[in-house]
Structure 1
Amino acid sequence: MNVKITRTLTSAAVLAMAGAFGFAASASADPAAINGTYALRGGNDGAVVTVVSACDPVVNGCTANLTSTRGWTSVATFTNGKWNFTVTKPNGIVCDNGSYAPVRIAYSVDAATMAGTMTADSNGDCPGGQITQVPFQLTKIG
């Protein structure tokens, strides 16, 4: 009977260790730090974006500061495998009445592929806007 109990305990210990190693392996699969310079392709922007983050490893809640060659800045937050940020372009649209209004564009980027979606209201703060989504890609260039 002692042999059977010992084998059961040994099997349980091996399974527990395998589970612990499996967890450690998945933790090492966290996304790499996003720091660098990226070309933004798609969505009519054509910006080059410099990204600086102190998060390493990258986990939910990490933030990164973004600065673009188009004059906008933003702070991205990492949540569930995606970097999310919003850009407000002042006077980004002319309303029907001739006034200017800001346009807010929400970006969501998959941390593994750096492919994402931009979502914007076609009329910014003007009445009657239409929500549109456009795919884009961030390509590391530096």
Structure 2
Amino acid sequence: MTVLRRLCAVPAAAVVALVVAAPAAAIVPPADGTYTLNEAGVPPAVWTMQSSCIQPNGTRAQSDYSDETIQSLGCVLQLSSAAPSKATREERVLNFTVRAGLVSDLWAFKVENPEGMQCPDGSTAPTTDNYAFDSATNAGTHTKIHGAVCGGQAGMVKTPFTLSFIAPLQPAVIDRFPDQCNYLAGRPSICS
């Protein structure tokens, strides 16, 4: 009974603080490998991804060197997209190579597509395609933006997509975050 009274005596603000202070999931690069892009109305494409990371330098607290989220801030994602064929406009626009970076905890990149939009008369118009996805869920959003083209107004279309893991890279990436840190102002780093 005394334990129950003590638990009931805990202020509600303390309980809320405990819930709010729960650690968020780490933001890390997606697993290096190949994925299938699944987006409604778009032919399938294969994305090949590999991250390249630069360690934080000696300007952070020692505990930050083991935090994958902080380490990921120095990462870029090399991404190559390929459709099985390039016979149609829909397949050609899926062939690109870009670098993605972290933006608001999502891996994001932009592709300028010279023939990204099909006009009613059969011609094409340029679009800017922005992709952003969460590496924990492999779900994201494809935002296609176009100017006042094809006799219409400027517009934007957002479509959700998912990535399905196919296989790891061959050869596999051995160590995404190397053990040695950078040197700062000619002094040895505090991590090794």
Gaps of 5+ in 2: 1-22, 55-67, 84-94, 168-192
Residue 86 of structure 1 is matched in structure 2 by: 110
Residue 144 of structure 2 is matched in structure 1 by: 120
1:54 maps onto 2:79 in alignment: no
Distance in structure 1 (CA, Å) of the matches to 2:115 and 2:137: 32
**1:46 to partner: Cα distance:** 1.6
Query: 1:99-110, aligned counterparts within 5 Å?
Result: 100-110=124-134
Change (3 A) 1:54 1:34: same
Q: Is the 8 A contact 2:147 2:153 kept in 1?
A: no
Q: Is the 8 A contact 1:101 1:125 kept in 2?
A: no
Change (3 A) 1:130 1:65: same
Change (3 A) 1:92 1:125: farther
Distance in structure 1 (CA, Å) of the matches to 2:123 and 2:25: 51
**1:100 to partner: Cα distance:** 3.2
Among candidates 59, 64, 72, match of residue 77 of structure 2: 64
Change (3 A) 1:61 1:102: farther
Distance in structure 2 (CA, Å) of the matches to 1:28 and 1:128: 41
Among candidates 156, 159, 162, match of residue 131 of structure 1: 156
Distance in structure 2 (CA, Å) of the matches to 1:113 and 1:141: 15
Structure 1, residues 32-81: CA drift from partner, whole Å, max 9, x if none? 55421111101414211001212285522521111111321111112342
Change (3 A) 1:100 1:78: same
Q: Is the 8 A contact 2:29 2:72 kept in 1?
A: no
Residue 35 of structure 1 is matched in structure 2 by: 32
> Number of paired residues?
116
AA partner of residue 86 (structure 1): K
Determine what percentage of the aligned residue pairs are the same residue: 34
Change (3 A) 1:135 1:98: closer
Query: Considering only aligned residues, what root-mean-square deviation do their CA atoms show, in Å?
Result: 2.8
TM-score, structure 2 as length reference: 0.51
Q: Is the 8 A contact 1:82 1:108 kept in 2?
A: yes
3-state SS of paired residue (1:54): strand
Larger RCO: Structure 1 or Structure 2 (Cα < 8 Å, ≥ 6 residues apart)? 2
Q: Is the 8 A contact 1:92 1:100 kept in 2?
A: yes
Change (3 A) 1:30 1:97: closer
